[in-house]
Amino acid sequence: MTNGLREMFDDFHHYFPGNSDEIRVYFAPGRVNLIGEHTDYNGGYVLPTALSLGTYMLVRLRQDGKYQLRSLNFKDHPVNFDEEQLVFKKEDDWGNYPKGIIKELMKESASLKGADILYYGTIPNAAGLSSSASIGMVTAFGLASLVGHPTDRQALAFLCQRMENHFIGVNTGILDQFAVGLCEKDYALFLNCDTLEKEKVALKLGNYKLVITNTNKRRGLADSKYNERLQECREALKVLQEVNPAWKTLSDISIEAFERHQSRLASIPKARARHVITENARVLDAVKALKVSDLKTFGELMKQSHRSLRDDYEVTGQELDALFDTQRQMAGCIGTRMTGAGFGGCTISIVDANTLDVFKETVSRKYNQQTGLEATFYICETGNGVREITEEVVS
């Protein structure tokens, strides 16, 4: 990344002339959730890993209360504001995420007095790989570090979640922020989103690769049916709590208990609850499989997850299903599923390295025939969580 950082420094000086010695560089990864979808806000289990893709931030503090933000991904869309103007503005688009983070940090009495910030993201935008959590976490960690504010990654993950919930207006769970903040290279993070108990699980892929396939159908989480699904799950839980008030989330309910009492539910809440409850069981089975290096079983659980998201949770859609139906039949692909909130975005597949070229060519051709869209493929490495970059910095 040395050459890329040198170019970022050149761009930073173009936008923000001044002292090079005061510029610091931070990075936050994107994440892909291997299994455990739409369980996080239902108090369930997830299994994400961080990616080598992510968001770079070059920053230099100011003392005049002014914030000047630029993104190399949106060069024609600068965002400038004073510390008194920390309000959501639709026209600020991507800039609302760092703006909301700055507001949350100032609520915690962080001694911020302005900043010049340049971002560059290698995560496909709106693809379901947590570009929003990545820009949020890199902003929170970087600015907190610079002003001596606490940088506990778990606490910052909650700060970022609050920002998305209250400033952006999306009822996200904690999965994305925890993964971006806490994951480690070559490991997945097994997380109980209710108790926040977590465990590193080794991700031993051998000759297999993680392949992310982008549908290139743009999706906006705030505009999707995400909040609708949240409400449907709440409806299901409310009815089931009449049986057992001790059930605080859908994830407290076993498959056996659900099967005994599902007749109480209307068809749509029943289907949503069935997905959540069975998906939690799949995550537990997936962790067991990884611990004994049983990738074939892990891959089968991924396929089951997609079918449940398609049939019970109804968050896939034509594009994701087209990819899934082709990918699951490809030689060398032992597991595949949609990942993220759905309604577009990406699939995650586990593919034998020796079959990658055929995999990409065939999936690309069939997907285009079925949808008219061009798929994009990312052969991904796992990565570490949010951090400062020092060894690669060149001014």
Q: What is the DSSP string of 16-59?
A: S-S-GGG-EEEEEEEEEEEE--S-GGGT-EEEEEEEEEEEEEEE
Q: Dump pLDDT digits (tens) for 199-208.
A: 999 999 999 9
Q: Across residues 92-121, what is the average pLDDT?
A: 97
Instruction: Give the burial class of 353: count Cβ atoms within 10 A of its Cβ; 0-12 exposed, 13-18 middle, 19 or more buried.
Output: middle
User: Which of these, 276, 273, 285, 269, lies nearest to 335 by C-alpha position?
Assistant: 285
Residue 32 domain flag: yes
- Number of residues that this document lists for the chain: 395
What CATH number corresponds to the domain at position 159?
3.30.230.10
| CA separation for the pair 393, 242 (Å, rounded) | 58
Please report the pLDDT score of residue 394 as a whole number.
41
Would you say 316 and 342 are in contact if contact means Cβ atoms under 8 Å apart? yes
Q: Across residues 77-84, what is the average pLDDT?
A: 95
| CA separation for the pair 106, 112 (Å, rounded) | 7
| 82 noted as active-site residue | no
Question: In the block, which residue shows the tokens 């031993």?
Answer: 204
Query: For residue 118, is pLDDT > 50?
Result: yes
Please report the pLDDT score of residue 3 as a whole number.
64
Please report the pLDDT score of residue 6 as a whole number.
87
Q: Dump pLDDT digits (tens) for 207-238.
A: 999 999 999 987 655 456 788 999 999 999 99
Residue 157 domain flag: yes
Residue 170 domain flag: yes
Residues of the domain holding 104 = 2-201+383-389
Question: In the block, which residue shows the tokens 């859908």?
Answer: 250
Residue 95 domain flag: yes
Which are the contacts of 259, defined by CB distance < 8 A and separation ≥ 6? none
Q: Which two tokens stand for residue 7?
A: 């170019």
Q: Dump pLDDT digits (tens) for 325-356.
A: 999 999 999 999 999 888 888 999 999 999 99
Residue 238 domain flag: no
| CA separation for the pair 22, 5 (Å, rounded) | 15
Percentage of the chain with pLDDT > 70?
96
Q: Which two tokens stand for residue 101?
A: 């983070």
User: Which of these, 48, 190, 11, lies nearest to 130 by C-alpha position?
Assistant: 48
**Sequence letter at residue 388:** E
Please report the pLDDT score of residue 1 as a whole number.
43
Residue 317 domain flag: no
* Confidence class for position 247, pLDDT limits 50, 70, 90: very high
| CA separation for the pair 21, 309 (Å, rounded) | 50
Q: Across residues 128-155, what is the average pLDDT?
A: 94
| CA separation for the pair 75, 383 (Å, rounded) | 27
Question: Structural domain tally of the chain?
Answer: 1
Query: For residue 393, is pLDDT > 50?
Result: no
Residue 110 domain flag: yes
Active site residue: 40, 176, 252, 312, which one? 176
Q: Which two tokens stand for residue 172?
A: 């996200």
Q: Across residues 6-17, what is the average pLDDT?
A: 94
Given the DSSP bridges, would you call strands 66-71 and 45-61 parallel, antiparallel or unpaired?
A: unpaired
Would you say 131 and 167 are in contact if contact means Cβ atoms under 8 Å apart? no
- Does the pTM of the predicted model rise above 0.75? yes
Mean pLDDT of the chain: 94
Q: Across residues 292-298, what is the average pLDDT?
A: 97
Q: At what angle do helices 153-162 and 175-182 cross, to 10 degrees?
A: 150
Q: Say whether 202 sits in a helix, a strand or coil.
A: strand
Query: For residue 379, is pLDDT > 70?
Result: yes
* Confidence class for position 392, pLDDT limits 50, 70, 90: low
Would you say 355 and 367 are in contact if contact means Cβ atoms under 8 Å apart? no
Question: In the block, which residue shows the tokens 């108090």?
Answer: 43
Please report the pLDDT score of residue 395 as a whole number.
37
